Amino acid sequence: MVLQVEDLHTSFFTKMGEVKAVDGISFHVRERETFGIVGESGCGKSVTGLSIMRLLPEPSGQIVSGKIILEGKNLVELSKKHMRAYRGKVVSMILQDPMTSLNPVYTIGDQVGEAVRMHQDLPENMVEAEVIDVLRLLRIPAPEVRLKEYPFQLSGGMKQRVVGAIAMSCRPRLLIADEPTTALDATIQAQYIALFEDIQEKTNVAIIFITHDFGVVARICDRVGVMYAGKIIETAPTRDIFKNPKHPYTIALIKSVPQLDKKDDRLFSIEGQPPSMMNLPKGCRFCPRCHVALDICKEQEPPEVKISENRSVSCWRVK
Amino acid sequence: MLSTLPTAKTKTKKQYRGVTRVTRVIQKLAFWVPLIIMIAMIILAIFANFIAPHDPNLPKITDRYTPPVFMEGGKSEYLLGTDQIGRDILSRLIYGARVSLSVSLLVILITAAIGTMLGIAAGYSGGRADAIIMRVVDMALSFPGLLLAMLLAVAIGPGFTTVVLALSILGWAGYARMIRGEALRISQSDFVAQARVNGASGWRIMTRHIFPNIINSLIVLMTLQVGMMILAEAGLSYLGLGITVPTPSWGAMVSDGRANLDNAWWISLFPGVCIGLVVLSGNFLGDWIRDKLDPRLRQL
């Protein structure tokens, strides 16, 4: 087990009150596994990622309770200095927009080298070899030439790979990818995802893939957690999520993915809006939008039910 | 029909060329002339003791009020004439460049260093540190500089140190305010977030990621300040709060000659021209560098 998150609560304390962005989620990621976190905007996907990195915007964003156990160490309890040594070395993250994630005034070699120098005690003449090595891992052609180039000389897909190279420079155990493919077009997206699989094979890195795109999920994830309003409402292997979704929200989500082989007049959509995170309903969070809600759904939050070794669902209808 | 086409083409091309050639020459002049003036001034300042034809502080009463060489009564040994006690104006101007340039350079270095450090700290850390630094900046910007200079002149006496102190104590605020804005903008950029993700410390982000990205604006501001500082030094010296006799300084020279403007205008005019030239050159160079460093303008 590389990462185990137990009952994580992350809140933002604003002038209007406490916003429970992540409200008690638990999941784990094994070595060489890709865990997808899917959900609509504002459901707490990115906050989950930032909580693991301990990079919440301070002082408003705070981990209220819970455990984040990475390689046997609880990250929540680490000192700031300790955590900094972990970042980039044991746990890395790729941010949403690769186009602006590179510093325009440094060469590629400088930027990848910076990450190498910060965490590895290598003699200066070894750094460049290491940088070329990691650029190769990301399948960047002619790394010796790229080293001396500046970000503006690279294409978008190439920049994306350089960002990936920085994240992978110290061969971390866990990589969090926060919608890394959103800014790319479809062909580059496919290439990039294939690249992830390749890297995983070579380095055994565990990946958390944050996305709202079910197509990407199907392509790369081994298991998926579906998030809704700060909670993971269903966890299952990718196959099962598509074949046999249990939670009404998951069912509805998968129905709303456009499918080319079906000729429907209108695309299915879920009515209503997600609840305000400051004023959550008493019972199930999805209840106001749920077509199959029971009376109990309005009154009580459903517990997480483990229905098989790899699956769990939080819904009163699932027993 | 076909034969008219090429002529029409060449005509438009010529017009186009004509317009750009004129603008291009002007653009080039706007760079080279101020650059040459600046370099000349710096060379004069550094090698003043070799270039100056006379001792700038040696009076020769018999030659006083000698007009410049191109006027009636001018003498070829005093190209730009002499002042009330017979000191050579040209030599005093050359030595004066030393004072004026060293004051402005020193002040610019001090203020830019302090302002940049505080500005980056404020912009990057935000919150309370930002609020405190920026309120101090507001105070420094609202405080009348002349009053401070007068206080300092009374407290420690006029002189080189007084001028540098008076201009530095308040001068950093302008840098801090501009740099803070830049630092704030860059702190929110994705590559700073990425650096944080990679485990970079706050210090590292400020020095390695934010600072190199604001150097452009800093250089522009520093160049534009050359003129401002020379003017400020001249102003203080003119008022007697700065460089004192007998050390030559352009501002003090203008001040010396003001009683004789009607009969010996050259005592005040030439140092005034020098101040004007350097200030204008500084501004032109600053504008030029700003245009060159701004990628949006460079693309045009």
Nearest CA in chain B to A50: B197
Distance CA A157, CA A297 (A): 46
- The model's confidence at residue A283, banded by pLDDT at 50, 70 and 90, is confident
Distance CA B57, CA B48 (A): 13
Distance CA A168, CA A82 (A): 19
Based on the structure, what is the number of domains in chain B?
1
Distance CA A250, CA A223 (A): 14
- The model's confidence at residue B16, banded by pLDDT at 50, 70 and 90, is low
What number does CATH give the domain A3-90+174-282? 3.40.50.300
Least confident window among A83-87, A107-111, A272-276, B91-95 = A272-276
The answer as to whether B221 is a domain residue is yes
For residue A95, give the nearest of B197, B201, B212 by CB distance.
Answer: B197
Among residues B73, B76, B56, the alpha carbon closest in space to that of B65 is found at B73
Residue B119, exposed/middle/buried by CB under 10 A (0-12, 13-18, 19+)? buried
Distance CA A110, CA A135 (A): 12
The answer as to whether B248 is a domain residue is yes
Least confident window among A283-292, B18-27, B156-165 = B18-27
Q: Where are the domains of chain A?
A: 3-90+174-282, 106-171
CA contacts within 13 A on the Cβ side of A32: 5
At residue B44, what is the residue type?
L
The mean of the pLDDT values for chain B is 85
Q: Tell me: the pLDDT tens digits for A294-309?
A: 888 888 888 888 888 8
The answer as to whether B255 is a domain residue is yes
Distance CA A118, CA B200 (A): 7
Looking at beta carbons, which residues of chain B come within 8 Å of A87? 196-199
Would you say the ipTM is above 0.85?
A: no
The residue among A82, A89, A105, A116 with the most chain B CBs within 10 A of its CB, best to mutate, is A105
Distance between alpha carbon A255 and the CA centroid of its chain, in Å? 23
At residue A75, what is the residue type?
L
Helix A186-203 / helix A156-168 crossing angle, nearest 10 deg? 20
Q: Tell me: the pLDDT tens digits for A12-37?
A: 998 888 888 999 899 999 999 999 99
- What's the pLDDT score for residue A264? 67
Distance CA B293, CA B296 (A): 9
Judged by CB atoms closer than 8 Å, whether chains meet at B199 and A104 is answered as no
* Domain interval for residue B231: 98-298
SS3 category, B232? helix
For residue B200, give the nearest of A101, A106, A118 by CB distance.
Answer: A118
Judged against a pLDDT cut of 50, whether residue B299 lies above it is answered with no
Judged by CB atoms closer than 8 Å, whether chains meet at B213 and A114 is answered as no
Task: Summarize the confidence of residues A163-175 as an average pLDDT.
Answer: 92
Judged by CB atoms closer than 8 Å, whether chains meet at A88 and B198 is answered as yes
At residue B272, what is the residue type?
G
The answer as to whether B86 is a domain residue is no
Judged by CB atoms closer than 8 Å, whether chains meet at B212 and A100 is answered as no
Distance between alpha carbon B95 and the CA centroid of its chain, in Å? 18
Judged against a pLDDT cut of 90, whether residue B230 lies above it is answered with no
- What's the pLDDT score for residue B249? 86
Q: Tell me: the pLDDT tens digits for A240-276?
A: 999 989 999 999 888 888 777 777 677 788 888 888 8
The answer as to whether B8 is a domain residue is no
Task: Summarize the confidence of residues B224-235 as an average pLDDT.
Answer: 84
Q: Which residues on chain A place their C-beta less than 8 Å from a C-beta of chain B?
A: 53, 55, 59, 84-89, 92-93, 95-97, 100-106, 114-115, 118-119, 163, 166-167
The answer as to whether B36 is a domain residue is no
CATH number of the domain encompassing residue B194: 1.10.3720.10
Strand-pairing partners, residue A13, are A18
**Strand A174-178 to A206-211 pairing:** parallel
For residue B199, give the nearest of A100, A105, A118 by CB distance.
Answer: A118
Distance CA B51, CA A179 (A): 68
